[in-house]
Structure 1
């Protein structure tokens, strides 16, 4: 089964992202707006029993932290993907790093760039128009992040929450 680890930002950020994703992201219906901490990875459900305690340990040792979004950016020329740029901070970078060491396989295919995708798989001319317009906009989002989610992929390619891990919670 395919799994992934993400942060879902607060609703007001998701609503803004979805206002673009509805039109410019063909994966709009498959997953809500998110920050990917660990790309999709395959794991047998039996192995998940070993991973869940490690995810709980990481969550318990993590304090809530803030994120900021001030602008859009792009992965062009690699892909015609446009995203809300999440300003990197030590807490976010450290959290992401923990999912690629120790008991976790390092499956990173590229350096971690914290972001929330708002458009992807655009034709070149559409990409130029959309990015040209969006880069003139200023965004001013701040949010406190206090949890991450382990997701799994369904047969229809959509993603759903397997479990949510709240930061700083006591082990029960």
Structure 2
């Protein structure tokens, strides 16, 4: 089964992201707005309990972190994806690295760019038009994220929470 790890922002930021995702993200109905902490990975039913136990250990090592979205950006020319850029900070980088330890298969193929997707799979023309508009509108939102979620993918492609872990930093 396919799993992933994400942090969900506040309802206020989700509502703002969804105001764009409804129009510009074909995955709108598959998952709520989120910041991916670990890309999808395959785990069988016998191993998922070990994964959840390790995620609890990780949550106990990390304190809540600040999520600060500062602008709209894009992954163009690689993909026509638009997103709210999340400012990188030491806490979120450390959490990301812990979720990519040898236990979880090591570091990912791509560098970590903290973000919340608001549009993807746009045509070149639509991407340029929407990006130009959103870049001028801007965003400046700050909040604290105090939990991460282990998600799994259902048959129809949608994602749901398997387990939630509160970031406590108790083991520091």
TM > 0.5 fold call: yes
* Other structure's SS at 2:48 match: helix
**Whole-Å Cα distance in 1 between the matches of residues 154 and 166 of structure 2?**
24
Question: How many residue pairs get matched?
Answer: 171
Please provide the CA RMSD for this pair: 1.3
Q: Residue 133 of structure 1 aligns with which residue?
A: 133
Which 4+ stretches in 1 moved above 4 angstroms?
none
Q: Offset at 1:170?
A: 6.6
The worse-fitting range, judged by mean Cα deviation, of 59-68 and 69-78 is 59-68
**Kept after mapping to 2: 8 A contact 1:39/1:107:** no
* Other structure's SS at 2:79 match: coil
**Whole-Å Cα distance in 2 between the matches of residues 82 and 109 of structure 1?**
20
| TM-score for the superposition, normalised by structure 1 | 0.96
The worse-fitting range, judged by mean Cα deviation, of 60-69 and 82-91 is 60-69
Gaps of 5+ in 2: none
Q: Offset at 1:67?
A: 1.3
Q: Offset at 1:104?
A: 0.9
Q: Residue 97 of structure 2 aligns with which residue?
A: 97
Gaps of 5+ in 1: none
